[in-house]
Amino acid sequence: MIEFEGTEGLANFVNQIKERDIPGLLIARAEFVEENCEVINTLLEYHDIEIAGSTPSMTFWDVEYEQQERIIRETKEKIYTCTGKEIRVMSSRYFAYDENTLKAAQANGIEYVLARGTTGAKATIYKPEEYDVKIFSVSNVDSQSWGTGSLCDYSYWAREGTPDDFEKELFGALKYDKISPVSHTYLGGLKQSWNDVYLKFMDEPNIEWLDLDTFGQVDITLPFQNIPDNREVLYETPHPSTPLEEEENVSNPCAVEDITEKVSIDVTLEDNEIVVFHNGTGPMCIEALEYFDNMGYEYTEYLNSEEDFYATLDSYQGNFEESEGVSQTFGFYPIMFVEDRAFSGYDDDVKDEIDKLME
């Protein structure tokens, strides 16, 4: 799953794979995760999906090492700040990579780099002998007019393809032992005709769905210079047969708020009362709790691993149009409710404001 537009199609797609016990990999840029932190955490809690970092505005072909290393490191840090999860997969625009990508990925503990397909619709996991990083060469298909692209709804849509074209290619790829279908979920999760194709595919009985580590077993080990590379991109500007705005939406997309059961609780806080929602791992969370403990401030805490975490958070958050602190949109943990105020994230300014409230 790739998403950088919105969360409606993403939530619908995740709900559909959850119903069928299908594992998933969500590829997202760090800024999208930051902007939709609560939604992303709800989805990660709701279903067994893994999140991967992405730089969809940049290709990593022939980019100097220092720049790639910085981008990968910052992407990893930003996603961890929101989710408390270490990313193991990294990609750039068009699934581009080069040797500097592998060096930068290894330096940051990234296990997989996504690559433009090199073995047709068959997905292949390469292991370069020189690096402790796997190259995940995604399923790739050809187009007479627009060259090759991944086995993806967007690739077909952008190259004048139709859902019927995509369906034929998708099911035709089942002749291979390992394939990696991709959905841009603002298309495959939200647009009815494209979503119908995926639902048919999800319900195909002769498919074994695998988690990342099982799927990621190495197929071919070679010196880096001998691993094939695909740099063909012939459709930088989309040429759809039907513009996105003319595609019919699904009639009942699953909204994020539908995923977790709501609970009704009394959220009125007394003087000097503190309620903290956090993931137990982020540096701002740890610093805030240490500060409360050092100051002797009593607080009630909720961990995002607990049942009804997000529903309870929603009950508190619903009293506020925005948060104070590092984020004004409840984008960062810890999310703290102190008397009649709400804070998201923790820094010296937040500490000073809480001290004033607690005096």
* Banded model confidence at residue 255, pLDDT cuts 50, 70, 90: low
**Is residue 262 a contact partner of residue 314, using CB atoms and an 8 Å limit?**
yes
CATH code, domain with 295: 3.40.30.10
**Is residue 14 a contact partner of residue 24, using CB atoms and an 8 Å limit?**
yes
What pTM does this model have?
0.74
Determine the pLDDT at residue 264.
47
Determine the pLDDT at residue 260.
55
* Banded model confidence at residue 46, pLDDT cuts 50, 70, 90: confident
Q: Does residue 234 share a domain with residue 159?
A: yes
Determine the pLDDT at residue 183.
96
Q: Indicate whether 44 pLDDT > 80.
A: yes
**Beta bridge pairs of residue 54:** 29, 91
Q: Does residue 301 share a domain with residue 165?
A: no
Domain end residue (candidates: 222, 256, 290): 256
Q: Does a structural domain hold residue 74?
A: yes
Determine the pLDDT at residue 268.
63
CATH code, domain with 141: 3.20.20.370
Q: Output the average pLDDT for the chain.
A: 89
Q: Does residue 27 share a domain with residue 174?
A: yes
Q: Does a structural domain hold residue 1?
A: no
Closest-CA residue to 289 (of 330, 334, 328):
334
Q: Indicate whether 205 pLDDT > 90.
A: yes
Q: Indicate whether 189 pLDDT > 60.
A: yes
Q: Does residue 203 share a domain with residue 288?
A: no
Total domains present in the chain: 2
Q: Does a structural domain hold residue 3?
A: no
Q: Does residue 185 share a domain with residue 89?
A: yes
* Banded model confidence at residue 235, pLDDT cuts 50, 70, 90: low
Q: Does a structural domain hold residue 245?
A: yes
Question: What is the domain extent for residue 62?
Answer: 8-256
**Is residue 82 a contact partner of residue 40, using CB atoms and an 8 Å limit?**
yes
Considering 91-105, 228-242, 259-273, 340-354, the range whose residues carry the highest mean pLDDT is 91-105
List the structure tokens of 246.
């003319």
Domain end residue (candidates: 256, 291, 324): 256
Determine the pLDDT at residue 163.
94
Q: Provide the percentage of residues in the chain whose pLDDT is more than 90.
A: 61
Determine the pLDDT at residue 292.
94
Distance of CA 231 to the CA centre of its chain: 24
Q: Does a structural domain hold residue 304?
A: yes
Q: Indicate whether 41 pLDDT > 60.
A: yes
Nearest-angstrom CA–CA distance, 180 and 170: 10
Determine the pLDDT at residue 308.
75
Q: Does residue 121 share a domain with residue 17?
A: yes
Q: Does a structural domain hold residue 2?
A: no
Neighbours of 119 (CB within 10 A): 18
Q: Does residue 219 share a domain with residue 169?
A: yes
Q: Does residue 252 share a domain with residue 264?
A: no
Q: Indicate whether 261 pLDDT > 60.
A: no
Q: Indicate whether 265 pLDDT > 80.
A: no
DSSP state of 2: B
In the predicted model, what is the mean pLDDT of residues 59-73?
97
Determine the pLDDT at residue 160.
84
Domain end residue (candidates: 198, 225, 256): 256
Identify which has the larger pLDDT, 258 or 186.
Answer: 186
Q: Does residue 311 share a domain with residue 162?
A: no
In the predicted model, what is the mean pLDDT of residues 116-140?
96
Q: Does a structural domain hold residue 84?
A: yes
Q: Does residue 331 share a domain with residue 280?
A: yes
Q: Indicate whether 237 pLDDT > 70.
A: yes
Q: Does residue 251 share a domain with residue 107?
A: yes
Nearest-angstrom CA–CA distance, 101 and 113: 8
Q: Does a structural domain hold residue 334?
A: yes
* Long-range contacts of 350-355, Cβ-Cβ distance < 8 Å, separation of 24 or more: 350/288, 350/324, 350/325, 350/326, 351/291, 353/324, 354/274, 354/297, 355/295
In the predicted model, what is the mean pLDDT of residues 200-221?
96
Q: Does residue 274 share a domain with residue 219?
A: no
Considering 37-46, 95-104, 251-260, 318-327, the range whose residues carry the highest mean pLDDT is 95-104
